[in-house]
């Protein structure tokens, strides 16, 4: 897009006025906004398309065979059997065709979230609403739900623009008590994550790794150890 924009605004110059090509490249690169993501097509694209073409030909040949057999049926039984097979293959072919869309051009993306602040102001970021659903505290331990909520609340995102909603379809008092305890723990955990730029903001995941030892970390770990059994 930058190249097109540059060409559209290009003014013809004489041979004496035209600067070297590297000057244009340097100017173009300097004015380009930082990348937020890159997209690389997969090498399997050609193979996927070739396979889809061959498979499509096989399906067409199968349908042609079914059609011939259907119209040449001499008994009612053979007609209905062939018709049943034809409809079955038609349904399977439809299901297969619907699953080919993402195989026609698979890509790999790489994001650069550190460049977001260079492109968008913090005040212009959209608000986020995150819904966390749970139902049975015996099948879904409250500590797992609580850790999910704490991870979301600790996102590297403006706190005034993110809201977390927990929906407990079971209405369990056990889950409610777990979140009451989590609210006390979050008062220390969230500032700790933002202050130390913690990557793994799930408490269980963080304390299971080789984290940096400090008095603050040990204090939070002790409170997490007390908090965890109360939520299990």
Higher pLDDT, 220 or 176: 176
Closest CA to 19 of 28, 219, 205, 140: 28
Q: Tokens 């993110």 — which residue? A: 162
> What pLDDT, on the 0 to 100 scale, is given for residue 87?
93
pLDDT at 103 over 60: yes
Structure confidence at residue 9 (pLDDT): 36
Question: How high does pLDDT run on average in the chain?
Answer: 80
**pLDDT, position 92:** 94
**35-64: average pLDDT:** 92
Strand pairing category for 162-168 and 37-41: unpaired
pLDDT of residue 228: 64
- Residue 19 pLDDT: 47
1 pLDDT above the threshold of 70: no
What's the start-to-end Cα distance of the chain, in Å? 53
Report residue 230 as tokens.
């109360």
Which tens digits make up the pLDDT trace of 113-126?
888 888 888 888 88
The C-alpha angle 137, 141, 142, rounded to 5 degrees, equals 80
89 close to 97: Cβ distance less than 8 angstroms: no
Binding residue per annotation — 200? no
pLDDT value for 57: 96
Q: Tell which residue, 179, 178, 206, has the closest CA to residue 192.
A: 206
- Please report, rounded to a whole number, the percentage of residues in the chain having pLDDT higher than 90: 19
- Residue pair 150/203 in contact (Cβ under 8 Å)? The answer is yes
Highest mean pLDDT among 24-28, 163-167, 196-200, 201-205: 163-167
Q: Would you say the pTM of this structure is higher than 0.75? A: no
How far apart CA 125 and CA 158 sit, in angstroms, is 8
Residues 6+ apart with CB under 8 A from 40: 107, 108, 109, 110
Both tokens assigned to 153: 């609340």
What's the pLDDT score for residue 94?
A: 94
Tens of pLDDT along 170-185? 888 888 888 888 888 8
The rounded distance, in Å, linking the Cα atoms of 188 and 228 is 15
State yes or no: 139 annotated in a binding site.
Answer: yes
């Amino acid at each position: 897009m930058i190249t097109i924009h540059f060409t559209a605004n290009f003014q013809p110059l004489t041979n004496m006025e035209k600067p070297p090509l590297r000057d244009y490249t340097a100017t173009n690169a300097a004015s380009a906004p930082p990348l937020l993501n890159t997209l690389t097509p997969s090498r399997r694209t050609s193979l996927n398309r070739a396979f889809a073409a061959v498979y499509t030909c096989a399906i067409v040949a199968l349908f042609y065979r079914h059609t011939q057999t259907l119209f040449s049926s001499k008994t009612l039984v053979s007609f209905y059997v062939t018709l049943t097979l034809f409809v079955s293959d038609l349904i399977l072919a439809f299901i297969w065709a619907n699953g080919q869309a993402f195989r026609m051009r698979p890509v790999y993306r790489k994001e650069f979230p550190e460049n977001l602040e260079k492109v968008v102001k913090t005040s212009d970021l959209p608000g986020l609403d995150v819904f966390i659903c749970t139902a049975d505290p015996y099948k879904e331990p409250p500590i797992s739900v609580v850790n999910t909520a704490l991870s979301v609340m600790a996102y590297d995102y403006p706190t005034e623009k993110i809201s977390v909603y927990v929906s407990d379809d079971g209405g369990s008092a056990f889950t409610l008590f777990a979140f009451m305890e989590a609210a006390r723990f979050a008062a220390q955990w969230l500032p700790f994550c933002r202050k130390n730029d913690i990557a793994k903001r799930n408490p269980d995941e963080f304390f299971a790794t080789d984290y940096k030892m400090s008095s603050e970390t040990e204090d939070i770990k002790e409170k997490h150890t007390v908090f965890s059994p109360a939520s299990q």
